[in-house]
Structure 1
Amino acid sequence: MDSLPQHNGPPSGTGIDNIVEIWHLYRSPIILAVLAVLICARVYIHATESKGELVALPRAYAAPPEAAPVTEPKPARPDEKKPTKSNGPRRIKGGMVKRPSQNDDDVTVSDKPVKTLVFYSSVTTKTHKIAEAYIEKLATSFEALTKSTGRQFLQAELLNLEDIEFDDYFVSLPSFDGEPDVFYLFLIPSYNIDTITDTFLQHLDETHHDFRIDTGSLSSILGYSVFGFGDSEGWPTEKEGFCFQAKEIDKWMAKLTGRRRAYPVGMGDMKGDHAARLSEWSAGVLDVLEHVAKTGNLGEGLPGSGDAEESDPEDVAEDDDGEVVIGDEGDSTQTGDLGDVEDLGKLVRSSDSDKSRPSKGAIPVDFTSYGAKKSKPVPAGPKEMVAKNSPTYAALTKQGYAIVGSHSGVKICRWTKSALRGRGSCYKYSLYGINSHQCMETTPSLSCSNKCVFCWRGGTNPVGTTWRWVVDPPDLIFNGVKENHYKKIRMIRGMPGVRAERYNEALRIRHCALSLVGEPIFYPYINQFLAMLHNERISSFLVCNAQHPEQLAALKAVTQLYVSIDASNKDSLRKIDRPLHRDFWERFMQCLDILREKRFRHRTVYRLTLVKGFNVEEEAEGYAKLVERGLPCFVEVKGVTYCGTPTSSNAGLTMGNVPWYWEVCDFVRALEKHLKARGLNYGIAAEHAHSCCILLASDRFNVNGKWHTHIDYEKFFQLLEEKGVDGDWAPEDYMGPPTPEWALWGNGGFDPRDDRVDRKGRKIDRVIVRDRPEEVEV
């Protein structure tokens, strides 16, 4: 059989058949060749075509740029189509803009003029006349501000809410020639009849909830503030409606402006103090305008400052004076946030710069042996207690503490903020007549010689029996704590609910509580520091731990002198205070003897901090013995407060160690009974149930059947100036008026000027239980 012929050349047949056969034979290389040609062509085109400007489209959720560069607009091409207008609803732009840096050095101060608009409403023309007079005063004030700041303040414009279109001013900001920064002021009377103010409030509400308008449509405003006029006869208190419409306007403006509240709501009585209150409010507003003109911002504020939701995270589980709180222990080796505590000790690490710091001014003070006259040698290169580049410094300042110098501190306590907002003052107002919003919490020494199990510093603060750190001069500490205190008060200016009159009062310190943290008597120049306070008529309450008898004996005039009495016997004191001194009980008893000697020169106080399981059960009689030894003017009994996990893992403290108020009451009754049995004339005088605090007082302060636990502070300073620290005068000489009825034992002790609220700002009226509930077994 013949074999078939082999075809090595092109296929034979018709042309179409040949093409099909060629495709089937060579289609793979043909396809690959075409792809290669296309790729090369595309690369060539991209490499040779001219590159145009790339325009990035902003994402809807992207934050606005801080400073967009100004560029000349490109000329439109003839064939370029103009964008068509949307037929949908117009959207007003606004929202939360990025705030400028709170550091004045980082803020670019605007040179734009400032335009102030004053809105008012009036039914009887009284507010109209007041507003016209206010505008005239602003003209003079603005001339002075223009000269002092170099920034132009335009003539203020007075606008009646009845004569304006609300959309022109409260949906978006109005435009003016020169594009000035706009500042809004409101003078608003409150009525229980339908007025233009009700229509205005409805407009603000609708604007805030309109889906077409951004929530903060007025956020580009420079700032705003509201003053309300009320009638104390018709509505005596804020709870009953005093100036309620002014407060409503403030709330809605906070929402629409992105919390640009420049100054607290002012309130005045049209039949009383409205002129004085308006003058105070006006002065505060002018101070803010001056600050804005110089710095470009309203000032540093707290997180959530001005939040219309009335939330204040620092209201949570914080004690009133930083003395008796069971706090978080935490990991002392971490550099992150500390809880709301004074966690100082193990985090304190000396830096390399500490070694280079000169030892000039460092004083060796030895408290270990009070009988010795010689001090220990000065260690080479004394270190700072809290160095500025240490993790402790960073953590504490982040938590709201201001470290002054190298070993002192100051912080605003939550009762200060509470009093500023009309939510109640601490026990010191109830028992002694001290306004919480005029009180400064500070200490000249962050170190202590005890490691108490209930200390809210977690037992990690710097401790020692000998001062081994650099010593700062008292004037540096005094000026530093004042400056930082006032700075922190100003930070609260934008917080919702702050009362303008109390804010003005808070800018004048009238009292200093030396009990924030540490042991203030540990500071070698404590007498000089006290003298500086008294020279500015600032009263002083000093708390010490009864471990430094020599320092206690050398102490000069103090408005009120506390000694912490945390246990009634040696074994109990060792367990609860965990003192560093080996002769702690002898020191403790010697301090009580010194306090007995001082009882006719100082108002002396025993402070008892009750911790269940440590110093409550069956110890009332032992405490009575200690009272008999020291004979203090007052005995202040306070239940420990819980604010987190146990302070010490060794102590194992829990909520079970916190006494109920009725348990504190039972203890105080038992203590009073034991004191009477010993022939000691003490009685239960006053209370502050909200702080779980009760005051026993000597009959020295019971005059004609009435307790006089409050202090005449002006008389104290008068005696100090006339007779000096070593003069012949006694605590009775500056005894104040009778203790108010509401503060006496059995009446609760809550400030009647204020309203108690829960964490959401809702008013509450809790029942005070002073007797053991029936369901509780003995």
Structure 2
Amino acid sequence: MASNLTMDKARPQSSGDFLDFWHLHREVILVVAICFFSTAYMLYASLPTRRVVKKPLTRPVATAKLAPAKPVTITTEKSELSLEALPQDVVAHEPRRIKGELRKPDATRKASGSDSSRRTQVLVFYSSLTTTTEKIANDFARNLSASLEGDTEHKDIFFSPSVLDLAQIDYDEYFISPPKPTDSTIAVDYFYLFLIPSYNIDTINDNLLEHLQETHHDFRIDTAPLVGLLGYSVFGLGDREGWPTEEEGFCFQAKEVDRWMAKLTGRKRAYPLGMGDKKQDLTNRLGEWSEGVTDVLKLAATTGSLGEGVAGSGDADESDFEYASGDDDDEVVVEESAAPTKKNKKTKSNIDDVEDLGRIMKSNQADSNDSKGRAPIAIDFTTHSKPNAKKAAVQTVKEMVPKNSPTYASLTKQGYSIVGSHSGVKICRWTKSALRGRGSCYKYSFYGIASHQCMETTPSLSCSNKCVFCWRHGTNPVGTTWRWVVDPPEMIFDGVKAGHYQKIKMMRGVPGVRAERFAEAMRIRHCALSLVGEPIFYPHINEFLGMLHAERISSFLVCNAQHPDQLEALKAVTQLYVSIDASNKESLRKIDRPLHRDFWERFQRCLDILREKRFKHRTVFRLTLVKGFNVDDEVEGYAKLVEQGLPCFVEIKGVTYCGTSTSAGAGLSMANVPFYAEVTEFVTALNKKLEELGLDYGIAAEHAHSCCVLIASGRFRVDGKWHTRIDYTRFFELLEERGADGDWKPEDYMGAETPEWATWGNGGFDPRDERVDRKGRKIEAS
């Protein structure tokens, strides 16, 4: 009986009894459970099981007929296996991945700029139905070989170029991975060149494109298996008579080869896509492309690199997102207001240097801009107390933009190349746009300046204004007198040219860049002296202009009407601009924020000087419209300024929206940007007021894309047609015949008739170019 009672107590009768049982025997239970699962796992692992793998995704449907291909060979560390030799279940369930090998630059080559142990092999691929392209390819290869062999510095690092017919080769040997050299003791870098005619029938081109696409999407192969190539470039041959427009097919297959090779090589486009018409310009276009490719080949073979690039350079996918605030386009922009920041109580209030003005003004703008919108007080540096004589004796002349200064760091971050201590150069977004056949700026529509052949520079980064719409982010130095080191004009001229060409070269790999325009861009033909700062402030501006003209580079100089003495001493300029940002004294103080106390008197004197120069220079008033500042009820005031200065032209342009935040103190926002309809309304009203004053002016041209309209003097209207463009050849002839101080007038180098598409009412966009949005998508003409 006692034993039965004991058993009853041990047996759990309820949830409470079960918990008591668990707490009493949990150690034993856990040990037993662990032993059980361990034994079960060991037995399971020792059983002969088969791994199940999901089926691979179906490949994209082919759009063209594929040529018969040999079995793909998979390279592994131990052996090479043919897909046909593998069991079917392994082929289906155990795919091996082919990886592109990215060759790392050799340390010796990186340090010395060359590597004698490496050789470069150029492969020239072509396709041809009528043997025409075959002959061109062979001639091209012979010329390329002669050029490389004739260069004693580079001839030992190149093998003779090989010409390969795309109809005769095995694609797997060249387009799945870079070829393997026959001599394993020599390290070989391969460089691919393509000569591709376009056909509207099924040809080997279709097989090639299908193979490139299949290779890129093949799940067994890396998306960029040809990344080990040194580089590639494509040239297309076509006939515009058979293809009326590029969109309809001119060189379309060459474009596709270029696009897919960019993907397979990991963006190693060495030189822009070239295109030539067999009946028109093939010889010239092929010659330009060949010359450019040869230069890149020598660079790549000696350095192992295609050169310095830009963000997105060589991107396989089309993108035109280059309209950020940092892109200078010789335009003024308004920037989105930022939230007010907390003031630093420890900020110094004294001005140690002219450059500190930006910091002081920025920190005080929150207080100086009240609800009534009072303008900041102008500062005149010439009224400061005289420095101690002993200190002045030992004081050294400073550089305007020292290399270790925040100003230098900020400007270079924005894309400027600083030359010397006070000059700079930068390419604008219109240069990039023109290189890709997507339109030039308004200066092309008005004056015939090709943007990709225009250099934007300034010999002085300093300015005497702090305009509210200035997109320079307040980073450039300011001052009313030159108090810095003066660099010689020869050094500046050579430096800005080198900086400009270097930035153009950085565009080689950008998708869509046209080879012929890239070649043209390497010959500067125009110089816009605007950019940042005040170019006329530079003490040797006339000498600098003379160097430009000596190389037949036209000059377009922009000043802010605050330096009348320098303006009066200025010699010949192709076109002289003066910024007219307001029609009265108070508006000018508010919008330009000048540093000179006598800014209005200086402004008036500059207009009088411009009136005197109108028969010597092509003079231009540039009006920048900012809603809320200089648009409302100022038409009459602007008309009187035009009557005073009688310029050859008046450019009216709406301020451009930027998007970054540095103008909070100025109180600007998107609401201050006028619509194009508002700009045209203002232009129409101004033109009417000029007629009422009896002045012979008329609306001549427009560039709606830049929100810009041109009013011209009747002096440039011949037989009822506007002639706003410039005969640049004649301009330089006049300079050579009569000198910079010679007796000649703007009409003497007046150019041809303004194109119909650029005149008032026609938009002003060159129909030969393609207008796209910021993502590279074509904008249909309305």
Once residues 508 and 192 of structure 1 are traced to their aligned partners in structure 2, the CA distance between those partners, rounded to angstroms, is 36
Determine if the alignment matches structure 1 residue 568 to structure 2 residue 605.
Answer: no
Amino acid at match of 1:111: S
Alignment correspondent of 2:486: 471
Cα shift readout 1:467-526 (whole Å, capped 9, x = no counterpart) = 111111111111000001001100101111110000000001000001100111111111
Alignment correspondent of 1:423: 438
Q: What is the Cα deviation at residue 321 of structure 1?
A: 3.0
Determine if the alignment matches structure 1 residue 621 to structure 2 residue 636.
Answer: yes
Determine if the alignment matches structure 1 residue 221 to structure 2 residue 229.
Answer: yes
Amino acid at match of 2:312: G
Once residues 225 and 79 of structure 2 are traced to their aligned partners in structure 1, the CA distance between those partners, rounded to angstroms, is 25
Q: Do the aligned partners of 1:441 and 1:515 also contact (CA within 8 Å) in 2?
A: yes
Change beyond 3 A, Cα 1:702–1:332: farther
Determine if the alignment matches structure 1 residue 667 to structure 2 residue 672.
Answer: no
Q: What is the Cα deviation at residue 170 of structure 1?
A: 0.1
Once residues 274 and 481 of structure 2 are traced to their aligned partners in structure 1, the CA distance between those partners, rounded to angstroms, is 51
Cα shift readout 1:534-557 (whole Å, capped 9, x = no counterpart) = 011000000000000000000000
Alignment correspondent of 2:423: 408
127, 148, 157: which one aligns with 1:152: 157
Determine if the alignment matches structure 1 residue 164 to structure 2 residue 169.
Answer: yes
Cα shift readout 1:385-421 (whole Å, capped 9, x = no counterpart) = 1111223323322332100001111011010010001
Cα shift readout 1:538-585 (whole Å, capped 9, x = no counterpart) = 000000000000000000000000000000011111111111111111
Q: How does 1:610-759 map to 2 (within 5 A)?
A: 610-645=625-660, 647-759=662-774
Alignment correspondent of 1:111: 117
123, 126, 131: which one aligns with 1:120: 126
Change beyond 3 A, Cα 1:122–1:413: same
Once residues 223 and 510 of structure 1 are traced to their aligned partners in structure 2, the CA distance between those partners, rounded to angstroms, is 30
212, 219, 222: which one aligns with 1:211: 219
Q: Do the aligned partners of 1:301 and 1:491 also contact (CA within 8 Å) in 2?
A: yes
Alignment correspondent of 2:282: 274
Alignment correspondent of 1:372: none
Alignment correspondent of 2:249: 241
Amino acid at match of 1:130: I
Amino acid at match of 1:304: G
Q: Do the aligned partners of 2:235 and 2:275 also contact (CA within 8 Å) in 1?
A: yes
Cα shift readout 1:119-155 (whole Å, capped 9, x = no counterpart) = 101112211111122122222123124x222642111
Once residues 489 and 124 of structure 1 are traced to their aligned partners in structure 2, the CA distance between those partners, rounded to angstroms, is 37
Once residues 112 and 299 of structure 1 are traced to their aligned partners in structure 2, the CA distance between those partners, rounded to angstroms, is 18
Q: How does 1:272-671 map to 2 (within 5 A)?
A: 272-316=280-324, 321-327=329-335, 345-346=355-356, 380-645=395-660, 647-671=662-686
Residue 493 of structure 1 aligns to a residue in which SS?
Answer: coil
Q: Which runs of 5+ in 1 are unaligned?
A: 1-81, 335-343, 350-365, 370-376, 768-778
Residue 651 of structure 2 aligns to a residue in which SS?
Answer: strand
Alignment correspondent of 2:204: 196
Output the TM-score relative to the length of structure 1.
Answer: 0.80
Q: What is the Cα deviation at residue 100 of structure 1?
A: 8.4
Q: Do the aligned partners of 1:190 and 1:243 also contact (CA within 8 Å) in 2?
A: yes
Residue 666 of structure 2 aligns to a residue in which SS?
Answer: coil
Q: Which runs of 5+ in 2 are unaligned?
A: 1-77, 345-353, 360-379, 384-391
Alignment correspondent of 2:180: 175
Amino acid at match of 1:663: E
Amino acid at match of 1:281: W
Determine if the alignment matches structure 1 residue 131 to structure 2 residue 137.
Answer: yes
Change beyond 3 A, Cα 1:98–1:212: same
Once residues 455 and 513 of structure 2 are traced to their aligned partners in structure 1, the CA distance between those partners, rounded to angstroms, is 18
Please identify runs of 4+ aligned residues in structure 1 that moved more than 4 A: 82-87, 95-108, 317-320, 328-334, 344-349, 366-369
Q: What is the Cα deviation at residue 202 of structure 1?
A: 0.7
Amino acid at match of 1:495: V
Q: Do the aligned partners of 2:326 and 2:414 also contact (CA within 8 Å) in 1?
A: no
Q: What is the Cα deviation at residue 322 of structure 1?
A: 3.5
What is the root-mean-square deviation of aligned Cα atoms in Å?
Answer: 2.6
Alignment correspondent of 1:51: none
Residue 606 of structure 1 aligns to a residue in which SS?
Answer: strand
Q: What is the Cα deviation at residue 241 of structure 1?
A: 1.8
616-625 or 379-388: bigger deviation: 379-388
Q: Do the aligned partners of 1:634 and 1:695 also contact (CA within 8 Å) in 2?
A: yes
Once residues 697 and 596 of structure 1 are traced to their aligned partners in structure 2, the CA distance between those partners, rounded to angstroms, is 15
Alignment correspondent of 1:762: 777
Identical counterparts, % of pairs: 71
Change beyond 3 A, Cα 1:83–1:116: closer
Q: Do the aligned partners of 1:114 and 1:180 also contact (CA within 8 Å) in 2?
A: yes
Once residues 477 and 419 of structure 1 are traced to their aligned partners in structure 2, the CA distance between those partners, rounded to angstroms, is 26
Q: What is the Cα deviation at residue 304 of structure 1?
A: 1.0
Amino acid at match of 2:439: G
Alignment correspondent of 1:337: none
Amino acid at match of 1:258: G
Q: Do the aligned partners of 1:348 and 1:386 also contact (CA within 8 Å) in 2?
A: no
Q: Do the aligned partners of 2:358 and 2:475 also contact (CA within 8 Å) in 1?
A: no
Alignment correspondent of 2:259: 251
588-597 or 468-477: bigger deviation: 468-477
Amino acid at match of 1:700: R
Q: Do the aligned partners of 2:328 and 2:531 also contact (CA within 8 Å) in 1?
A: no
Q: Do the aligned partners of 1:327 and 1:646 also contact (CA within 8 Å) in 2?
A: yes
Q: What is the Cα deviation at residue 765 of structure 1?
A: 2.8
Once residues 602 and 455 of structure 1 are traced to their aligned partners in structure 2, the CA distance between those partners, rounded to angstroms, is 27
- Corresponding residue pairs, total: 653
Change beyond 3 A, Cα 1:152–1:457: closer
Change beyond 3 A, Cα 1:179–1:109: closer
Once residues 342 and 525 of structure 2 are traced to their aligned partners in structure 1, the CA distance between those partners, rounded to angstroms, is 36
Change beyond 3 A, Cα 1:623–1:95: farther
Alignment correspondent of 1:359: none
Change beyond 3 A, Cα 1:633–1:482: same
Q: What is the Cα deviation at residue 110 of structure 1?
A: 5.8
Once residues 110 and 328 of structure 1 are traced to their aligned partners in structure 2, the CA distance between those partners, rounded to angstroms, is 55
Amino acid at match of 2:415: G
Amino acid at match of 1:198: D
Alignment correspondent of 1:10: none
Change beyond 3 A, Cα 1:753–1:297: same
Q: Do the aligned partners of 1:322 and 1:517 also contact (CA within 8 Å) in 2?
A: no
